[in-house]
A and B are shown apart, each in its own frame.
Chain A
Amino acid sequence: MKIGVFVCHCGSNIAGTVDVVKVAEEARKLPDVAFASDTMYACSEPGQDGIINAIKDLDLDGVVVASCTPRMHEPTFRKTLERAGLNRYMFEMANIREHVSWVGKDKEANTKKALDLVAMAVAKLTQGKALISKKFDINKRVLVIGGGVAGIQAALDCADGGLDVILVEKTTSIGGKMSKLDKTFPTVDCSSCILGPKMVDVAQHPNITLYAASEVEKIDGYVGNYQVAITKKATYVDWDACTGCGLCMEKCPSKKSTDYFNEEVGTTTAINILFPQAIPKKASIDADFCIKLIKDKCGICAKVCPTNAIQYDQQDEIVTEPVGAIIVATGYDLFDYTKYGEYGGGRYPDVITSMQYERLLSASGPTGGHVKRPSDGKEPKTIVFIQCVGSRDKSIGRPYCSGFCCMYTAKQAILTKDHMPDSQSYVFYMDIRAPGKLYDEFIRRAMEEYGTQYVRGRVSMLYPKNGSLVVRGADTLLGKQVEIEADLVVLAVGAESAVGASKLAEKLRISYDNYGFYMESHPKLRPVETNTAGVFLAGSCQGPKDIPQSVGQGSAAAAKVLVLFSKDQLESDPQVSVVDIKRCVGCGKCIETCPFGAIEEIDFRGMTKSNVIETICQGCGICTSTCPQGAIQLQNFTDNQILAEVNVLCQQTLEKSFE
């Protein structure tokens, strides 16, 4: 075999702490190495040209590049090989940047280590072989999970691009958090005026199928060919018949149902339409509160409904949709502030969350846009906002910044003054995070034009006293303890991952961070991709984001899907397991262990054997380490390849040990 080795300087990134020239020199002495050199930037155009020329000139069979992590440039160099006419799998990378030059300063040790890594890559490559991808058709339909502003944007862009879109929303209406907001920063335009039309577009778009009150049950398949089972949850109303007239709501006697949309400020009826602008505008029954469903009494809604839409015996239903790509846009949820005993732990009615305050401010909210405090319905004069509640707090496991609460707090302070000109707002903050276009100017306006008092310090406790709340904080700029007697306290609660995010991730086989936010493929260069081909992210399911960022990501994810679907066929990854039919004894152990059900039992001349279904196999290699015969081998990670690497490192004693 003729292997070429290219050792990258990466400017001084590698060359600074690794003697790359020496590594190349030593590499030349390795068996099977026909050529070795160092190169300034392997991934740059001249770098790649150098590789191509060497392959052509020296008729190389394989290439090793010693540079950065394969998670970064493996695809780049595979394409380079292909351009030179070599099979793309005759390639190995030695990670001498992230794993060597960046984590150690001892040049001698680093150089030795780099050489070992090169030798391992060469040894592995000698055991490698050319792999050929198969082509398969793709199903150009896309599933969008979550109907917040990010999901809506993604769905609309895909649909406008001509794709069939399946939009699955957990609640009975799309709109997400944004539909609950009164106005939006930094322009203070009305949230429903800008979101409403988009929601209507979703309803009317011929390419979009909307499943509200639905959740993804199960996902099978692979990029280009997913099968998605969707549970349509029982709403006890036939949505084909319901016209959204609202008669049932008027008459329903169960008026104490939890009002999720209004964040439990007030209550709603057991049968309800989530909010007046809901899409779809359909009624559904909350089974926890319906007298008919609990006690088999009442039945009034069925009597008044002009279209006979009520179906008390409706059951959950499962539908299956074939799609080729998936956009996840499940958003975030809000931190449960009752964990803070010092803020009353939920005991004080006039301590409310920022989202509850949005509902109080909203003209279509439960108070018609009049700010009335929950305890006695009085209009508050002094309002205290506390920032970073459930954010940047290690002690409760939330060390991250939620990103948008500084901004929405300023917005709420401004709106407070608009609503109640003789009110006074105070904001307790630790730092102000406003790095966007017109953002800091917005914060300044809250202070300069609206007279909001910003106090730099955290609040340690609050307690009721004579009908108001004493808020005790620090003004660290003064170096003093301060107290404010407030009529209303609004907690700028932070964002946390959506309820059930980790469960959904497991269905999608994507990873999530310690807090349940989904992991992008690369934090800078692949922000909407995941490590699972065909699954993309949009909006705050990936981490807290405001509306502009969420919308931007929605569009980005849609663009990625359109790119994926711009071809009619995809190439399968040939790094899958393959059964050596001669060695296989048909014990079935691999079938039991494969997490994807990718292995089937076949009959081979009257004998039971195993066979891998290529398109289903994900290439984990669990079967390979299970098979007692070594009959099933994961391509490009075969036993021989890995052992070749081990042998390079560990050959101290008996040359021929045990095999």
Chain B
Amino acid sequence: MNTIRLNTACDADFINQVEKESEQDMSLCYQCGNCTAGCPYTTFYDLPVNQVMRLVQVGQREQVLSCKSLWLCASCESCTTRCPNDIDVARIMDVLRHMSRRAGHATERRVKIFWDAFLSSVERHGRVHEMGLMATYMTKTGRMFTDIDLGMHLIPNGKLSLKPHTMIGKKEVSEIFKRFNEERSS
């Protein structure tokens, strides 16, 4: 790995932004590693969560926002619950993910597609339509046989409806998305 020039390569705006959006104080982290110790996803992360914390502390925007870990955090709250400094680590991970998304990263492409498919299903129908969601996901990823085996159990048991569940106020829900997107782009 390249040498990091700590004084010049520190992006203070990045630190401030993370602190502001997450309402957490990054300087509280003393790198005990408890978050990593408890994180069930560490095995799959490219950066353990305590190192994500550390990289934010030293203002390494690029390295943080382009890591895979952000997209694999399941918000299981283990880190938040056990951090000895009461840092809401899961919230920081969430905020970093927002920033990563806004910066156009999607290091775990399939995860992102799944989430996007989920939300567009909500946007369209007001409630998630699981079948539709799967269809979108399969088309977008090209993985046509995802969980086909499960369908064999789900469909006959009435657990996967072919039609979306109707609700009256679905327009209200799509309006939420509309307003959100407008505010975002403004």
Contact = CB atoms under 8 A, between A and B. Distances in A.
Contacts of A396: 84
B84 A481 contact: no
Interface in B1-58: 28, 30-39, 42-43, 47-48, 50-51
Nearest to B82: A460
B85 A476 contact: no
Chain A contact residues: helix, strand, loop or mixed:
strand
B83 interface: yes
Nearest to A476: B33
A191 B37 CA distance: 36
Nearest to B85: A394
A394 B87 CA distance: 10
B86 interface: yes
B78 interface: yes
A476 B84 contact: no
A432 to B, nearest CB: 13
B122 to A, nearest CB: 34
Given A460-B34, A479-B47, A481-B48, 15 more contacts: A395-B84, A395-B85, A395-B86, A458-B32, A458-B34, A460-B78, A472-B37, A473-B33, A474-B33, A474-B36, A474-B37, A476-B36, A479-B51, A481-B37, A482-B37
A457 B84 contact: no
Contacts, number: 72
A394 B84 contact: yes
Nearest to B31: A476
B120 to A, nearest CB: 35
A393 interface: yes
Given A476-B31, A481-B42, A342 B82 contact: yes
A480 interface: yes
Q: Please tell me the size bucket of the interface on B.
A: 20 to 34
B84 A480 contact: no
B82 A480 contact: no
12 contacts: A458-B32, A458-B84, A459-B37, A460-B37, A461-B82, A473-B33, A474-B33, A474-B50, A476-B33, A476-B36, A479-B36, A480-B42
B82 A430 contact: no
Contacts of A112: none
A395 B85 CA distance: 5
Contact of A457 (B28, B36, B47, B82): B36
Given A394-B84, A474-B48, A479-B51, A461 B30 contact: no
A457 B38 contact: no
A392 interface: yes
A450 B48 CA distance: 31
Nearest to B51: A479
Contact of A481 (B30, B31, B36, B86): B36
Contact of A472 (B38, B48, B50): B38
Interface in A438-492: 456-461, 472-476, 479-482
